[in-house]
Amino acid sequence: MVQKKARDTWGSRLAVIMAVAGSAVGLGNFLRFPAKAAANGGGAFMIPYFIALFLLGIPLMWIEWTLGRFGGGFEHGTAPGIFHSIWQKNRFIKYFGIIGIFGPLIIFIYYTYIESWTLAYSFFALSGKYRALADQAAMKSFLSGFQGLEKNQYFSSLAPAYLFFLATFFLNIVVIYYGIRGGIERLCKWAMPALFIFGAILMVRVLTLGTPDLSKPDWNIFNGLGFLWNPDFSALKNPKVWLEAAGQVFFTLSVGIGVILTYASYLSKGDDVVLSGLTASSTNEVAEVILGGSIIIPAAFVFFGPLDIQSIARSGVFNLGFVTMPLVLNKLPLATAFAFLWFFLLFLAGVTSSVSLAQPAVAFMEDEFDISRKKAVWIFSIVAFILCQPAIFFLKNGVVDELDFWGGTFFLVVFATVETILFGWVFGMEKAWDEIHKGADMRVPRVYKFIIKYITPLFLLFILSWWLLKEWLPIIFMRNVSVANRPYIFATRIGLLAIFLILGMMVRIAWRKKRVLEGKLR
C-alpha cells in the first residue's frame, strides 16, 4: 500500500490567526493606506472602505479559509487541487488554480527585494549612514544610489543592496525550510507582537509631537490628523474613489492570492474558520487604520506643512517610506532609535508576508508530487533566486512594476472572481454554508448567504471590468512605457508566460501520475 507522508499542522489557533494576519499586514498597511485615504476624500474615504470591507474583504476571507480547510481534507494545499476537489467532474478547473501558485511566486520574487531595502535601512538607521541628509532631493538621491538607479556619492554600486537581498532571501528560505509549525508559526508568534509594539511606540511618538515649530502654529499634530481624516464628501461622487477603497481592502487582506488557501489547508476538519478569519481580518485593520493612519501622514504634515504634504501624499509608496519618513525621523530626538523602529517594523511586516508567498509553491510540490518539504524548499529556493535577478538588475527598466501588475494586481482579481463563483455557485451555497460552519465558534450572519452568492461576485466582476477598461488596457498595451524599456517589459511578459506554462505542465504531470497510481491500486 502506498503510504503518504503526514501533512504539517498548526500548533494552535492563535498561531494560524497570527500567520494569516502576518501575511495580510505588509508595507501597504503603513504606506499605501494613509496615502490613499488622504488623496481620496479623507474621512469620507472610510465610507466606501468599510462597505468594501464587509461586502468584499470579509466574505473573500471566509471563502478562502473555508476552501483551504476543505482542500486540506483531501491533502491538497494549493488551488489546483482545492478547485479540483470542489468540481471533480470538470477536467479544466485545476488549471485555473495555477494562478494560486503563480501569483504568490511572482509577488515573492520582487517583494523579497523590496523587503531587503527595509532591512538595509534599519541597518543604515543604526549606523547613521543617512543621518546628515536634510532634504528630499538628497534622500531621494541616497535611495536611487542604493537601488542602483544611479552612481553617486552615497553608493558606487549595487553591492550593498545585493548583500541585504541575499540576507533577506536566506532568512525567508530558513523560515520555510523549518515548515509551518517550526518556521512560519515560530516567526509570526514573535514578529507580530513585536510589529504591534513597534507600531504603537511610533504612533504614540507621532501623536505627542504637538507643534514642533512654534513659529508655525498651524503645523500641528491635530491638523496632521485632520489632513487624513477631515471628510470631503464631494469625493464620494467620484466612482474612482469607491474603486480605490475596494482595491485597498482587497490588497490589504491578502485575499485573491492563494496564500490563505494554503495556510488554511493545514487546519483540521473541525477547526473553526469563521472566528479565526474575522480575527485575522480585524488584526490587519488595527494595523492599517489605527497604526498605519497615525504615523507617516500626520508626522510628515507636522514637519513639511500643509502645502508640501499634498505632493508628498501623492509621491508614491517608496517615496513616503524611504524618503519622507527618514527625513521626519531625523528631526526627532532619539532619531536613531525611532528610525530603526520604523524600518524594522516594515521589515517584520514584509517578512511575515513574504514567507506566506513562498508557501503555496512549496506546498504544491509537497502535496502533488509527494516530495519532502526540505527537497521542495531547495527546488523553490533555486528557482526563486534565479527569478529574483531581473527584479534586482532591471528595476530601472520597469520590471518590478510589470511583475506587480500581473502577479500582484491583475491575476489577484481574476483568481478571487473564480474562487467566489466556484464557492457560491459550483460548490453550492447550502453546502458552502454548512462547510463554513463546521467547528465554527460563531455563526456568520444569514445576510452573508446572499452577499457571498450575489454581491461579492458582482462586485468583483464590476471591479474587473472597470479596471480593465479604465486602467489596465493602457498597461497591457504598454502605452505608458518608454520605447527604451519596451524590450525589458516584453521579455518579462515572455518569462511570466513561460512560468505559467511550466506550472500548467506540472499540474498535468501531477494529475497523470495520480491517475496511474489510482489505476494500479484498483
Q: Which of 95, 109, 108 is nearest to 415 (CA)?
A: 95
Query: Is residue 279 close enough to count as binding other proteins by CB under 8 A?
Result: yes
Please list, in sequence order, all residues whose beta carbon lies within 8 angstroms of the beta carbon of residue 322, skipping any fewer than 6 positions away: 117, 121, 139, 143
440 lies in the site for other proteins, by CB under 8 A: yes
> Judged by CB under 8 A, does residue 397 bind other proteins?
no
Which range binds other proteins by CB under 8 A, 38-46, 255-263, 309-317, 368-376? 38-46
Q: Does 285 bind other proteins (CB under 8 A)?
A: yes
Task: Select the span of 66-74, 252-260, 275-283, 397-405 touching other proteins (CB under 8 A).
Answer: 275-283
Query: Is the distance from CB of 312 to CB of 320 less than 8 angstroms?
Result: yes
Tell me the CB-side half-sphere exposure of residue 372, using CA atoms within 13 A.
Answer: 5
**Rounded least distance, CB 443 to other proteins, Å:** 7
Q: Does 204 bind other proteins (CB under 8 A)?
A: no
Residues 449, 443: Cα–Cα separation, whole Å: 12
Residue 225 binds other proteins, judged by CB under 8 A: yes
Q: Does 40 bind other proteins (CB under 8 A)?
A: no
Residue at 218: amino acid letter: D
| Candidates 40-48, 175-183, 428-436, 459-467; binding stretch for other proteins (CB under 8 A) | 40-48
Q: How many CA atoms, within 13 angstroms, populate the side-chain half-sphere of residue 136? A: 13
Least distance (Å) from other proteins to the CB of residue 252?
12
Residue for cell digits 527584479?
391
Choose the binding region for other proteins from 117-125, 154-162, 391-399, 435-443 (rule: CB under 8 A): 435-443
Q: By the 8 A CB rule, do 345 and 198 touch? A: yes
Q: Shortest Cβ distance from residue 55 to other proteins (Å)?
A: 15
Write out the H or E segment, with its range, that includes residue 39: helix 32-39
- Residues 49-68, one symbol each (x = binds other proteins by CB under 8 A, - = not), give -x------------------
**Nearest distance, CB of residue 288 and other proteins, angstroms:** 9
Of 43-51, 186-194, 448-456, 465-473, the segment contacting other proteins by CB under 8 A is 43-51
What is the spatial distance between Cα 172 and Cα 121, in angstroms, rounded to a whole number?
18
Length of the chain: 522
3-state per-residue secondary structure call for 86-106: HCCCCCCHHHHCCHHHHHHHH
Q: Do the beta carbons of residue 120 and residue 168 sit within 8 Å?
A: no
Q: How far apart are CA 402 and CA 389, in angstroms?
A: 14
The yes or no reply on residue 278 touching other proteins (CB under 8 A) is yes
| Distance in Å, CB of 356 to other proteins, minimum | 20
CA distance 496 to 163: 26
439 torsion bin: left (phi>0), alpha (psi -120 to 50), beta (else): left
**Exactly one of 441, 461, 466, 514 binds other proteins (CB under 8 A); which one?**
441
From 126, 149, 286, 426, residue interacting with other proteins (rule: CB under 8 A): 286
> Using CA atoms, how far apart are residues 302 and 292, in angstroms rounded to an integer?
16
Q: Does 443 bind other proteins (CB under 8 A)?
A: yes
Of 43, 182, 428, 504, the residue at the interface with other proteins (CB under 8 A) is 43
Choices 11-19, 122-130, 243-251, 373-381; region in contact with other proteins by CB under 8 A = 11-19
Which residues of the shown chain bind other proteins in the complex (CB under 8 A)? 13-14, 17, 42-44, 46, 50, 222-223, 225-226, 229-231, 270, 272, 275-276, 278-279, 282-283, 285-286, 289-290, 437, 439-443
